[in-house]
Amino acid sequence: MSFENLNLHPLILKAVHEAGYSTPTPIQEQAIPELISGTDIIASAQTGTGKTAAFMLPALHHLTAPSKTNGRGPRILVLTPTRELADQVSDAAKKYGKYTPRTKVISILGGMPYPLQNKLLSQPVDILVATPGRLIDHIQRGRVDFSRLQTLILDEADRMLDMGFLPDIKQIASCLPQGRQTVLFSATLDPAIEKVAAQLLNTPKRIQIADRQTKLDHIEQRLHYVDDLTHKNKLLNHVLRDAGLKQAIVFTATKRNADLIADNLYADGHTAAALHGDMNQRERNRTLTKLRKGDLRILVATDVAARGIDISDITHVINFDLPKFAEDYVHRIGRTGRAGATGIAVSFASSKDSIHLKRIERYTGHSIASHIIPGLEPRSKVSRHNDGNKKNSAPGHRKGKQLFNAPDKRRNINPHFARRPSKTARSAATGTI
């Protein structure tokens, strides 16, 4: 099938071809005709499947016809769990809608100044991309006119539910016209999602795309057993010296650890910076722009970066700490292997992580082969049913330098985290966070 068969407006097709897409992905093939015809859909499609275009192209197609209702408010509303994902959706809307009329896109996101948002909402808008909490604030102040709204899109609905946004989503939906189209995309379709769909969607069509195994085929997953923090740091150091590594995201369990590791990598001569929810939007955007431009080689992040970052040069994802939820593992490693590339996902696991590891393997249906780096073998032998035990003797390995140096020994201060209190560094040095 080609995009031409999908009956999209020619000016949208022009933008799609310019984006370099020759054939629709399975989710696009199935969702676009349904959405053009006005049907509600509930779709399970994970990040990396082309799901953003699957809902955005038909939304733009609807905008090519003038609104039947007078007004200046949005005709399309996309709700996303995170600011990063919202930015990705807005960028996609602008990219695919560059040739079509009536495609003014605005973002209303938490952490951004209110005055600017008030101004944006007072002007005519076609597509509004928002995180639920901040949008509620504006709705309560009477600043959003939903009289023209045609389509509500819930992107990564499972994540929004995990983050406790359900009451906000319901409240927002209650302010929208009854006859609207509602579209729900979720990585998984569990009972909680089905319940939301039953409440907000009107006889939806179900679309389920490729299982998780298929989706991860292009990502080589590796596991390293670790004894302790020192061992982890040495392994991290080793992985980061892989000559094939263009850009990497290192995921940590805590914001403080993200700062500390970024800080120490920077001190160690890497172009590295942290990204987490304690940073304001401007700092987050600045860091992501640097990553996109290739000015940063390593991003150290919490799960805030697990979704919505779409950079083809990210060759490696490193789970410094394993995620608690198996879904997050899939989202994290999906940051590599983008746009047809292959990727490497490296995870560190201690004996304490065995339950999380099992959950991840059950969820993905894939047993992660463990690797041993000569000279960095784990002291404790962890027995596992189906270890690959592949030896990895990357050239040029020397004994790793510990990354958690005491702050006074650092050669440099990372400008991305100049304000970090030294107390934090001390606790990290002793491995207490």
Contact residues for ligand AMP, defined by CB under 6 A: 21, 24-25, 28, 47-53, 310, 338-339
Nearer to ligand AMP, 90 or 424 (CB): 90
Alpha helices in 114-205 (DSSP H): 114-122, 132-140, 157-162, 166-174, 191-200
Distance (Å) of CA 117 to CA 110, 134, 281: 10, 10, 14
- Give the number of other CB atoms < 10 A from CB of residue 120: 17
Element (H, E) at 130: strand 127-130
User: In this structure, are strands 272-275 and 151-154 parallel, antiparallel, or unpaired?
Assistant: unpaired
Q: How far is the CB of 415 from ligand AMP (least distance, A)?
A: 30
Nearer to ligand AMP, 207 or 226 (CB): 207
Q: How far is the CB of 57 from ligand AMP (least distance, A)?
A: 9
Nearer to ligand AMP, 83 or 256 (CB): 83
Nearer to ligand AMP, 9 or 234 (CB): 9
Q: How far is the CB of 369 from ligand AMP (least distance, A)?
A: 26
Nearer to ligand AMP, 96 or 266 (CB): 96
Nearer to ligand AMP, 52 or 221 (CB): 52
DSSP notation for 13-26? HHHHHHTT--S--H
Q: Name the token pair of 208.
A: 């389920």
Q: How far is the CB of 254 from ligand AMP (least distance, A)?
A: 26
Nearer to ligand AMP, 193 or 240 (CB): 193
Distance CA 378, CA 157 (A): 39
Q: How far is the CB of 186 from ligand AMP (least distance, A)?
A: 13
Distance (Å) of CA 55 to CA 43, 147, 160, 225, 306: 10, 21, 17, 41, 21
At residue 63, the 3 state secondary structure works out as helix
Q: How far is the CB of 100 from ligand AMP (least distance, A)?
A: 17
Would you give the distance in Å from CA 41 to the centre of its chain? 22
Q: Name the token pair of 214.
A: 């298929």
Across the strands, what pairs with 221?
345
Q: Name the token pair of 351.
A: 């004996």
Using CB atoms within 10 A of its CB, is residue 188 exposed (0-12), middle (13-18) or buried (19+)? Answer: middle
Nearer to ligand AMP, 47 or 186 (CB): 47
Q: How far is the CB of 45 from ligand AMP (least distance, A)?
A: 7
Find, among 25, 427, 382, the residue nearest to 259 by Cα: 427
Q: How far is the CB of 257 from ligand AMP (least distance, A)?
A: 27
Nearer to ligand AMP, 51 or 420 (CB): 51
Instruction: Say how many Å lie between the first and final Cα of the chain, rounded.
Output: 52
Q: How far is the CB of 51 from ligand AMP (least distance, A)?
A: 4
Strand order, beta sheet including 151-154: 105-108, 127-130, 76-79, 151-154, 181-186, 41-44, 205-208
| DSSP 8-state class, residue 383 | P
* Amino acid at the residue 140: Q
Q: How far is the CB of 292 from ligand AMP (least distance, A)?
A: 12
Are 226 and 296 within 8 A, CB to CB? no
Using CB atoms within 10 A of its CB, is residue 163 exposed (0-12), middle (13-18) or buried (19+)? Answer: middle
Find, among 151, 160, 146, the residue nearest to 182 by Cα: 151
Nearer to ligand AMP, 52 or 131 (CB): 52
Q: How far is the CB of 81 from ligand AMP (least distance, A)?
A: 14
Nearer to ligand AMP, 26 or 388 (CB): 26
